[in-house]
Structure 1
Amino acid sequence: MLCTTCGTRPAASAGGQCAVCAPVSPAPPYGPTAPGRSFSGLRSPVGLGRATVALLWAVVATDVIALAAGANLRRVYPGPDGGSFYDLATANRAEAFYGVAGGLQTLAMLATVVLFIIWFHRVRLNAEVFDAGLQPMRPGWAIGAWFIPVANFWLPHRIAIGVWTASARTGTDDGRRTVSKVPLDLWWGVWVVSTLFTWVASKYYAYEQEELAPGREAVTLVMAADALDIVAAALAIVFVRKLTRMQGERASLGPAPLSSVSPAGPASV
């Protein structure tokens, strides 16, 4: 049963309200905290956040290199009319450059995925300290949710919303602050589209190679996927920086006493 006031946390009182919304005895503003509300389990996400952002920039850089390599390859590949004035040696060099660029992309992406998930798990653990009642899934899912086929297109987003909401409660007047979750939703939407588009483009390019007839259309499709990946990486940088900063601001206030939290429910984010 959810709280009858905020509708997000489990009910914990006879009146059907959660521990935050249930009436408590008045206390001086920012007085002694309620039992059990401690920030002792917090760990700073700043270092991981900075490293993740650095690797995301590496993803952007390798995507730019891949775009340049793709443009060069597209120039030497035959068009729809089959015409091309470049010799085989030139085409081989262009394909070799394209292969190196693809390898750099793979290395940067793998390193970024590993570090991003570690950072994501860290901020999820911090959110458990800020407000465990707002978290829809256990902390371990911040790692496992990414590896479930199909479900990984929405489960991590669901977890991120809980982390974002808990981290946004940083106001000094009543313990809350409204923070738009546009950076989160925008990054997630573009990432999903980019992932699916990249899968389609890579499958088409692989098919063309198997047919021994790769053309400009296949290369152009992969280049479009690279451009979309740049946008997704840039939005991920904004998301990581924003959430890391929010958690730092929230932690700097310390655990707010239950009496200073407004019964109006969780912040709208």
Structure 2
Amino acid sequence: MLTLKNPNGLAKAVVVLLAGDIVFDVLLGLIDVRGLAAENGTYFDPAVIGGVDLYVAYSMAFTLWFATAVVFIIWFHRLRKNAEVWARDLQGRTPGWAIGGWFIPVANLWIPQGIAADIWRASRWEPSAADAKGEMTLLNSWWAVWVADTIVDRIASQLYKWAETPEAYDTATLWSLASYGLDIVAAVLAIRVVRRLTSMQTAKATGMIPAAQ
């Protein structure tokens, strides 16, 4: 028997973790800015970036990012299971795809977005109704920025691997800065998506809590 599960606790955890990711994006972005301003040959000197240990900073950021990804996917899967209760016939993929879809190379650039759209429709009052004008703007904006961030981050990583001159490192750093900027925007939009979808499901389950904007 399918039963609804409360997503509020997971949603709060995801929001806190995403906020932490934003803080680290700002910190690492400032490190890149200081690196660009540094004299040639001193980019990797901790003293140039205010005494911050790069390896510690990146390790902490990666640990936080990993924790965010894990909790986000658990939250996402819970919402997909809830969507099964309300509109199983409108779900294009089984709940397992809410987890596995994130780990398929290339296809993960569109599979989770399709699942999220199905969850959104199932979570509103009339799942079968046509999408209202602009209804999916928040969801689609988040996804577009996330995909752009993923692509730019991969380009930056490759440029760092190929870099052999100060100029090449600067180019890679500029791409890295762009990635941090996109990641901040994606995280802000993700927070709004998490709050919105969670509130929609809570509203539908209780019939009395208004959905957050």
**Structure 1 length as normaliser, TM-score?**
0.69
Partners in 1 of 2:118 and 2:169 — Cα distance? 46
More displaced, 134-143 or 67-76? 67-76
User: Which residue number corresponds to residue 205 of structure 1?
Assistant: 160
Cα distance, 1:170 vs structure 2:
5.9
User: Which residue number corresponds to residue 38 of structure 2?
Assistant: 76
**Which of 12, 24, 32 lines up with 1:50 in the alignment?**
12
1:156-214 per-residue CA deviation (whole Å, 9 max, x = no partner) reads 1111111000101269xxx9995811111110111001001101011102221xx2645
User: Which residue number corresponds to residue 169 of structure 1?
Assistant: 125
> 5+ residue gaps in structure 1?
1-37, 79-86, 255-269
Cα distance, 1:92 vs structure 2:
1.6
**Which of 204, 216, 236 lines up with 2:170 in the alignment?**
216
1:183, 1:235 within 8 Å by CA — same for their partners in 2? yes
1:46-68 per-residue CA deviation (whole Å, 9 max, x = no partner) reads 00001001100011000001011
Q: Does 1:183 align with 2:138?
A: yes
Cα distance, 1:77 vs structure 2:
4.2
Q: Does 1:230 align with 2:184?
A: yes
> 5+ residue gaps in structure 2?
209-213
Structure 2 SS opposite 1:104: helix
Structure 1 SS opposite 2:114: helix
Structure 2 SS opposite 1:137: coil
Cα distance, 1:121 vs structure 2:
0.1
RMSD of aligned C-alpha atoms?
2.5
User: How do residues 1-269 of structure 1 correspond to structure 2 at under 5 angstroms?
Assistant: 41-78=3-40, 91-93=44-46, 94=48, 97-169=53-125, 178=132, 180-208=135-163, 211=164, 213=166, 215-253=169-207
Cα distance, 1:108 vs structure 2:
1.5
1:71-111 per-residue CA deviation (whole Å, 9 max, x = no partner) reads 11111143xxxxxxxx85x8522476444332222111111
Quick one: higher RCO (CA 8 Å, sep 6+), 1 or 2?
A: 1
Structure 2 SS opposite 1:215: helix
Structure (1/2) with the larger helix percentage: 2
Larger Rg over CA atoms = 1
Partners in 2 of 1:91 and 1:149 — Cα distance? 32
Instruction: Summarize the Cα distance change of 1:225–1:176 in structure 2 as closer, same or farther, 3 Å threshold.
Output: closer
- The AA in structure 1 aligned to 2:190 is A
Partners in 2 of 1:100 and 1:71 — Cα distance? 18
- The AA in structure 2 aligned to 1:111 is A
Counting matched residue pairs gives 202
Structure 1 SS opposite 2:92: coil
Partners in 2 of 1:98 and 1:207 — Cα distance? 20
